[in-house]
Every structure is written in structure tokens, then in C-alpha cells.
Amino acid sequence: MSTEPSKIRQELNDLFTAAVASADPMNCLATHLPQPPKGRTLVVAAGKAAASMARAVELAWPTNEPLSGVALTRYGHGQHCEIVEVIEAAHPVPDNRGYEVAQRLLVDVSNLTNDDLLLCLISGGGSALLALPADGISLAEKREINKALLMSGAPIGEMNTVRKHLSAIKGGRLAQAAHPAKVVTLAISDVPFDAPSTIASGPTVPDPTTTRDAVDLLNRYSIKAPASVQAHLSSATAETPKSENKVFDGFDFRMITKPSDMINTMVANCRNRGYAVNSLGADIEGESRVVAAEHAELALNSAPGLILSGGETTVTVSAETATGKGGRNCEYLLALAIALNSAPNIYALAADTDGIDGSEDNAGAIITPDTLARAKSRGINPKEMLDNHDAYTFFNILGDLIITGPTRTNVNDFRVIWVK
């Protein structure tokens, strides 16, 4: 196998392409479909994979069985469906389109009977897209809380604990509205440890967290809630439905693919390509630059081969001092490059399998042994760029961004370090 730099870059890109393909709904959804009901089937899909999941259902559903519904996905992540209506809205900060569609969906499911089936297709991003605040809370207030959570460095499970308790549709409330219809949820996990109640804030599953948890998290991250949010969280109506609630009797949740499936597939794939592989697993969390320092130390002391990992790191941003652009994967890679300090023969890729690293147009980036040298030749100070959370600009100048466009799936991040 050639180890020329251009060949290494191509091989890293090929590995990322294979990781994304392993989580394509077209390859993993059909076998999980339930039997059609006596009545009608309503599809409600939400998340970055919503449109592709809906299309996979259409292709596999019996042609003589009634089917209708809506797929709500991020702008640019839609695709053509024959039956299910595809609607795009804003992510990660919700907009009026998501608000209006969530209102409509809550009404639609409330009209189902016990002869009907709600087929819910859930993937990462659904929490921000299903933007329906609880009574008394405005969408603008919910947006501000969401922005503060995104900048706080809170892991996704904690963010969604707050989101669920400020929502009229998440945290099991969609299933509550659909009762007594049968509810079957097909999910693609994008969260560490795959908790159903965390994926898209669990609109159809019991919620084990409480309003007390939500209040404690707002306090922990010094997020000042407006009076309306404080009043709501102190009321009994803010509590989400729990497992003993009758709306969850016989509820059916099916995980069609998850980050560990992707990582396990890629371990086998890489070994088949002749690599020695060290898998760190699919559930890595923590501050991006801290994780990067740990991985750099591991790489510097590793035998030749690949180090694979998945999960979702976080970036804590100070609104007062940071003006840069970049998501968690680019931040991880810039911190990794600095920690490796131009060590020879170490290359790395980190990218989000949904094709979007944060809010920019890239999935991630690549670093090479000469990343810091090339930056210096262009007058770029890597440490200053990292401190300003401007990793996107750093890799854009160097021409090292990975730009795939929306992949229409989402099993979180894929990272590979190649010790040559």
C-alpha cells in the first residue's frame, strides 16, 4: 500500500466515505419495519436522516397499504420522496418553520385511533428541528436557551435534558399525543451510549430525567433562564411522562443503526485492508482539545497502524472573546496537530458523518505531519486560531477541509489517526 501523502489523504477520505455508507438508511432500515396496522400508517420523521429514512420506508412498505406523513429535516438535507412530504427547517438553532411543522405534527398524531400506527423515524438533529416550546415559553426564549447550551460545552445528554423539559413535543410527549395509536420508533443513534431518550430528545419514549435535573443543569452552566422558563420549570406540567405512564404500554423502539455499528464495521473494513487497528470505541465524550491531547499522546507511543474512534466531543465557547468559526472535529484536529508538534509519519482525519461539522459547510478536516509548517509559511499562528475557536478558517486556508455536503445519515463523528 502506497504511503505517499496524496495517497494517504485519499485513503483517509475513502475510510470516511465507507463509514458514512455503513449507516445509510437504505442499507439498514427495511428489516426493522413493523407489520402494517388495521387502520392507517402515519410517518413522522425528524432529524438529519429524516428524508432518507422516509424514502427507505416508502421503497419497502407494501404498496397496497395506506401510508402518509411528514419528514422534517435540516435545510439542505432533504431528498425526493413519493408519498411522505419533506420539509426543511433550521438546525442547530430552531426557526419558525420547525415551530410550525411541530405544531402541525402534534395535531396530526392526536387524530390517530387505536387501529392506526404512528411510525416515527428519529435521527440526530431532531431535537432542534422539533421546535415547539411548552405553553408560556416563546420560540425566541427557547432559541436563546438553545444557543447558550450549544456554547456551554455541555454534552448532548445534558443539553437534551433541558430541551425536553421546555418542549411540548419532546420527552415522550409526541407518543402521549398519539395515544391510543400504536407507536413504533425506528432510530439512528447519534449520541454516546445510545440512550433512546437522548436521541432527538426522545419524542416517543419515556423520559428518565426530571425538571430538577433541568434546573440543576441551567445553574451548573450559568445559563440565566427568563422568568417564563423559570415559572414553567417550577410547575407540575413541566414534568415529562415516565415509563409507568399508560401511553407507553407496549411501546416499540427499534435501533436500526448506531455509532458502535459504524465503528465495528470500520474496524473490520480496515483490517481487511491490511491495517493493524486500535479501536477506542464509539462513545468518546469530553472537551475537543482535551480529547485531542490524550489521542496525541497515544499516537506518539503507538506502533504503526490506525487508531479509530467515534462519539461526540464538545467545545466550550466564551461569547465575549471568541469570534472564530469551526466545529468540534476541526477544533479536535487543530489541537491534535499542536500536540503532535509536527511528529513525522502521523496523519489524522476527523469528520461528522452527517456531513456538517458544527454550522459550517465542511464535514471535518485532515492533518498531516507538515500541517504546522504549512501554517507557519502562511503566517498563521495555530495556537491563536485554537484559542479563538477558529479551526475552520485554519484548515480552509490550508486547503485541508473535507466537504461532502449533507450525507442524510448521522451516527456522530468518525476519527482516524494513521501512525505510518
The CATH number of residue 324's host domain is: 3.40.1480.10
Average pLDDT, the chain: 96
Q: Are 15 and 42 within one domain?
A: no
Q: Are 185 and 199 within one domain?
A: yes
How far, CA to CA in Å, does 125 sit from each of 72, 190, 398?
10, 9, 30
Closest CA to 326 of 358, 302, 289: 358
Question: What is the pLDDT at residue 323?
Answer: 80
Q: What's the structural domain count of the chain?
A: 2
Structural domain contains residue 245: yes
Q: Are 185 and 142 within one domain?
A: yes
Q: Are 122 and 245 within one domain?
A: yes
Question: What is the pLDDT at residue 3?
Answer: 52
Q: Are 15 and 79 within one domain?
A: no
Structural domain contains residue 26: no
Q: What's the pTM value of the predicted model, to 2 decimals?
A: 0.94
Strands (E), 223-382: 252-257, 277-279, 305-311, 346-352, 364-367
Question: What is the pLDDT at residue 1?
Answer: 39
Does the pLDDT of residue 21 top 80, yes or no?
yes
Q: Of the candidates 229, 257, 285, which is a domain's last residue?
A: 257
Does the pLDDT of residue 2 top 50, yes or no?
no
CA distance 264 to 259: 9
Q: Of the candidates 257, 272, 302, which is a domain's last residue?
A: 257
Q: Are 86 and 229 within one domain?
A: yes
Structural domain contains residue 276: yes
**Domain extent at residue 288:** 5-21+259-419
Q: Are 264 and 310 within one domain?
A: yes
Q: Are 194 and 343 within one domain?
A: no
Q: Of the candidates 257, 281, 312, which is a domain's last residue?
A: 257
Structural domain contains residue 28: no
Distance of alpha carbon 405 from the chain centroid:
15
Structural domain contains residue 27: no
Tens digits of residue pLDDT in 55-108: 999 999 999 999 999 999 999 999 999 999 999 999 999 999 999 999 999 999
Structural domain contains residue 307: yes
- pLDDT-derived band at 303, boundaries 50, 70, 90: very high
Does the pLDDT of residue 368 top 50, yes or no?
yes
Question: Is the distance from CB of 193 to CB of 126 less than 8 angstroms?
Answer: no
Pairing state between β 401-402 and 364-367: antiparallel
Question: What is the pLDDT at residue 320?
Answer: 63
Tens digits of residue pLDDT in 331-362: 999 999 999 999 999 999 999 999 999 889 99
Q: Are 226 and 330 within one domain?
A: no
C-alpha cell at 314: 464538545
Question: Is the distance from CB of 414 to CB of 16 less than 8 angstroms?
Answer: yes
Tens digits of residue pLDDT in 113-155: 999 999 999 999 999 999 999 999 999 999 999 999 999 999 9
Helices (H), 22-125: 25-28, 50-60, 96-110
CA distance 144 to 150: 10
Structural domain contains residue 67: yes
